[in-house]
Amino acid sequence: MPRKVLIIGGVAGGASAAARLRRLDESAEIILFERGEYISFANCGLPYYLGGVIQERENLLVQTVQGMQERFNIDIRVKSEVTRILRQSKEVEVLAGGQTYRESYDYLLLSPGAAPILPPIPGMQRQGIYTLRNMADVDKIKGFIEEKKPQRAAVIGGGYVGIEMAENLKHAGLAVVVIEAAEQVMGPLDVEMARIVEQELLANGINLILKDAVQSFQGETQIDILLGSGRQERVDLVIMAAGVRPETKLAQEAGLEIGAKGGILVDEYLRTSDQAIYAVGDAIEVKDRLSGQNALIPLAGPANKQGRIAANNICGAKDKYLGSLGTSIIKVFNITAAATGNNEKLLQRAGIPYLKSFTHSGSHAGYYPGAFMLTMKLLFSPTDGKILGAQIVGRQGVDKRIDVLATAIKHGLTVYDLEELELSYAPPYSSAKDPVNMAGFTAANILKGDVKVLHWEDLKGLAREDHLILDVRTKEEYDNGHLAGSVLMPVDSIRQGLAEIPRDKKIIIYCKVGLRGYIAYRILAQRGYKVYNLSGGYEMHLAEQYKYAEGIDLNEQMTKFEHIPSPTATLEGKTVQVDACGLQCPGPIMKVYKEMENLQTGEVLEVLASDPSFPRDAKAWCERTGNTLLSSESTAKGYRVMIKKGNAQASVPAHNQNPLDIPHGKSIIVFSSDLDKAIASFIIANGGAAMGRKVTLFFTFWGLNILRKDVVGRVEKNFIERMFGLMMPRGSKRLGLSKMNMVGMGPRMIRNIMQKKNVASLEELIQQAKDSGVRLVACTMSMDLMGIKAEELIDGIEYGGVASYLAEAEESDVNLFI
């Protein structure tokens, strides 16, 4: 008898479990209940939609109900809230459309997620105060911004959602203040690393209020926020981002065990205290892989993996979920911050001994333009060097380094292993000694006793009469700022100045980031001095004062770090930004064409694209359309092209003095009904249309099948016409390939690849051509010979013969036969 599985909640955990269940068991009855309208949406992308980074709402919908039902044969019931779990009868009670009914199950999987924490603050229910959890929330906030035009916003909470919301509200044009009750933003980071993030927020106009909690919301037309310190902030919009708590109401009422952290308790197989009920995602307590203690880790990555494992086990496997490292990453304006494993607070709470080190390395080789500082904090065991945690902040290359370190922690590697890792190197991407290697070298030196270190907190309360603080930087650096009471002795002159260094005191050495300090340490340690190097150098002191990375061009490691300003900084007049990333040819050029129509002469279009051919296409487009290509550059995020409307002559042959005499039309005869040739025809046509050219596609003989409708009503035909119709493909969706058709498998494969590569389908290309004014002409003579009737063809088709084609050909500088 087929197993019946009910899933409560979609998005990451529930939707991934449902899809995995179907892949494992085609006969299972799977029902997914979602109290909202959407089963799978990019909740991590919601802030970026509000900020306009993600412009299309539909892009947030990862999977639709219809799409998932068709692909996986799953009974999906949206706007259906499960209100009770009846464990004895193995049923759930469902409220939908005002009616209540029951549904039985063999297995039940809970994926209710987590809800925003709403502290009991007076005035919380007033208009203009929102949380952000789902599509309904984002629609409300978007509507409020568009309708009310708020000028100032407050974000309550400095976690991931709070910081992302602050940045994107700033992008939306609002003045923003972040209010955080703790002493820092970004709880997964330790305080000195969080200061770098805070500096970036301040530098981009975000106001920060730390160690101050909201007491009440007051006011009439605006919202007055009264803080514990007595301070008051007046805003038009409030986003509550004080954290999330597991949704456990159903589980509690059903008598399932709840852990001390407030999440649903599950075993290593993700079973609850009821063996027929599994739970995944933000609602459950998981094992911290380092401390072994239970933890709440509301992240999409672990939830997806848990959904897969739970589905495996429902189908009879014995897969274990061994816990989570809490690996996380966030973009904050121009920098990235990431963490994995335990931070100092967690290690102290768990009673785990640790050592720490700081390194500052270039994101890639310093002699290659565009390298930026990566600041890395490593936490490791004082006995065997096992890596316990890592944090990185920088502009580029943070993501790949944190992933390497997360992998290292997962497999129990040590700092000695980091020294030996063979990582890819080329000047644009890294250095011969990757930042991960450098972190390993530094930590291993501490463990082996090659260097003794002190940290910034060790300097507080230090008996200065027993110590000498030695600054081994240059005089210029020292004069620009130094530790109080420190003595300057540049590293290159230490050997000559040994007589001036007292032997009866402990010597504390510091430089900018630690490297010169280490060299000075080795010189003195080998001569019998009691010496310590300040881990992380003066840079960590600057971080505390929100001055991190000032003077980074000081050749610390005999490399040069350069900052390449955005071209927009030197432009005058209006500049419009367009994001064409993810689009394949001719998508970016068509987007340029449409946006340029809305600009006035002299205004500039800044286009970001990921298609490698776009810079060349943009250059050719500008030359042929009379626009000016200002700049074209490759960036860490893709390709940036700046185009000024007008002020450039369209290129014409030198021998032709009158550019108006040049035919610029494009004529294409489409003879083939092969899918690949049809796609090529429409890509060329859309490219021509994007350049403002008149384009005509002339369909003849087998090419007419591209224009046929998939489904058509009864059409009067004679016997021969009906036979032709049966032997030919009906419409674009049934076309075969010219090569590797493989009895229909080839077309399905190429369409699947096009979808994954974000290339428009043939049907989308046809619609784009029609929208761009491309003429689609069907040859009436061929229609008559092949028995194809006008009512069989898609809308928007013109009809003509050879004279129509020749007339267009004479006005064209391109004539193709496909």
Give the residue numbers marked as catalytic: 44
Q: Which residues contact 194 (CB under 8 A, 6 or more apart)?
A: 184, 185, 186
What are the distances in angstroms from CA 554 to CA 480, 494, 561? 12, 20, 8
3-state secondary structure of 514: coil
**Secondary structure (DSSP) of 225-285:** EEETTS-EEEESEEEE-S-EEE--HHHHHTT--B-TTSSBP--TTSB-SSTTEEE-GGGB-
Residue 580 in tokens: 């064409």
Q: Which residues contact 260 (CB under 8 A, 6 or more apart)?
A: 294
Cis check: omega of the bond before 663, within 30 degrees of 0: no
Please, which residues bridge with residue 218 across strands?
224
Q: What angle do CA 319, 325, 326 make, to 5 degrees?
A: 115
> In whole angstroms, how large is the CA radius of gyration of the chain?
32
Torsion sign, CA atoms 316, 317, 322, 323: negative
The per-type count for the chain, helices as H runs and strands as E runs, is 24, 41
Are 148 and 172 a contacting pair, CB within 8 Å? no
The structure tokens 């998932």 sit at: 68
Q: Which residues contact 734 (CB under 8 A, 6 or more apart)?
A: 710
Provide the Cα torsion 551, 557, 560, 564; round to 10°. Answer: -60
| Residue 623, Cβ density class (10 Å: 0-12 exposed, 13-18 middle, ≥19 buried) | middle
One-letter amino acid identity for 758? N
**Secondary structure (DSSP) of 22-49:** HHH-TT-EEEEEESSS-SEE-GGGHHHH
Rounded Cα gap, residues 246 and 260, in angstroms: 12
Q: What angle do CA 132, 48, 12 make, to 5 degrees?
A: 60
Q: What angle do CA 683, 685, 690 make, to 5 degrees?
A: 95
Are 394 and 200 a contacting pair, CB within 8 Å? no
Rounded Cα gap, residues 99 and 112, in angstroms: 21
Rounded Cα gap, residues 112 and 257, in angstroms: 16
Q: Which residues contact 157 (CB under 8 A, 6 or more apart)?
A: 178, 179, 180, 240, 241, 242, 243
Angle at which helices 11-24 and 65-72 cross, to 10°: 20
